[in-house]
Chain A
Amino acid sequence: MSEEVRLMKGNEAIAHAAIRYGCDGYFGYPITPQSEVLETLEELMPWETTGMVVLQAESEVAAINMVYGGAASGKAVMTSSSSPGVSLKQEGISYIAAASLPALILNVMRGGPGLGTIQPSQADYFQAVKGGGHGDYHLIVLAPSTVQEMVDFVGLGFDLAFKYCNPAMILADGIVGQMMEKVVLPEQRPRRTDEEVRQQCPWAANGRKDGRKRNIVTSLELESSRMEVINHELQARYREIEKNETRWEEIGVEDADYLLIAFGSIARICAKAQEMAAEKGVKVGIVRPITLWPFPTEAIAKAAEGKKGILVVELNAGQMIEDVRLAVHDRLPVEHFGRMGGIIPSPDEVLEALENKIINR
Chain B
Amino acid sequence: MKEEIIIAGFGGQGVLSMGKILAYSGLMDDKEVTWMPSYGPEQRGGTANVTVILSDDKISSPVLDRYDVVIALNQQSLDKFAPKVKEGGMLIYDTNGIHKHPVREDIKIYPINAMEATLELGNSKAYNMVVMGALLEAMEYKLPMENVIKGLKKSLPERHHKLIPLNQQAIEKGRTLL
Contacts and interface: CB of A to CB of B under 8 A. Distances in A.
A268 B39 contact: no
Interface stretch (B29-37, B131-139, B163-171): B29-37
Interface string B62-77: 1111100000000000
Contacts of B108: none
A7 B65 contact: no
A347 interface: yes
B177 interface: no
A272 B60 contact: yes
Contact of A180 (B20, B32, B41, B63): B20
Interface string A274-287: 11000000000000
A240 interface: no
A268 B24 contact: no
Contacts of A119: 40-41
Interface size class of chain A, counting residues whose CB lies under 8 Å from the partner chain: 20 to 34
A7 B64 contact: no
Given A272-B61, A275-B60, A178 B37 contact: yes
Contact of A265 (B33, B35, B62, B64): B62
B61 A271 contact: yes
Interface string A27-53: 000001100000000000000000000
A218 interface: no
B109 interface: no
Contacts of A215: none
Given A180-B23, A181-B35, A182-B33, A7 B154 contact: yes
A269 interface: yes
B60 A271 contact: yes
Contacts of B155: 7
B27 A178 contact: no
A348 interface: yes
A175 interface: yes
Contacts, number: 70
Interface in B111-169: 154-155
Interface in A312-348: 342, 344, 346-348
A346 B60 contact: no
Interface in A97-140: 117-119
Nearest to B16: A180
Nearest to A344: B63
Interface string A167-191: 0000000010011111000000000
A274 B61 CA distance: 11
Interface in B4-54: 20, 23-24, 27, 32-37, 39-41
A246 B41 CA distance: 38
The prevalent SS among residues of A at the interface is mixed
A117 B40 contact: yes
Nearest to B53: A181
A347 B84 CA distance: 13
A274 B32 CA distance: 20
A178 B39 contact: yes
Given A179-B34, A182-B32, A268 B27 contact: no
Contact of B33 (A7, A117, A272, A347): A7
Contacts of B65: 346-349
A180 B61 contact: no
A29 B119 CA distance: 43
Contacts of B23: 7, 180
B40 A181 contact: no
Contacts of A229: none
A33 B33 CA distance: 21
A348 B83 CA distance: 15
A92 to B, nearest CB: 28
Contacts of B35: 7, 179-181
Contacts of B66: 348
Nearest to B4: A272
A337 to B, nearest CB: 15
A5 interface: yes
Residue of A5, A119, A180 ringed by the most chain B CB atoms within 10 A? A180
Contacts of B32: 182
Nearest to A176: B62
A32 B37 CA distance: 14
B60 A175 contact: no
A7 B27 contact: yes
12 contacts: A7-B155, A179-B36, A180-B33, A180-B36, A182-B27, A269-B63, A272-B60, A274-B60, A342-B40, A344-B63, A346-B65, A347-B63
Interface of B: 20, 23-24, 27, 32-37, 39-41, 59-66, 154-155
Interface of A: 5, 7, 32-33, 117-119, 175, 178-182, 265, 268-269, 271-275, 342, 344, 346-349
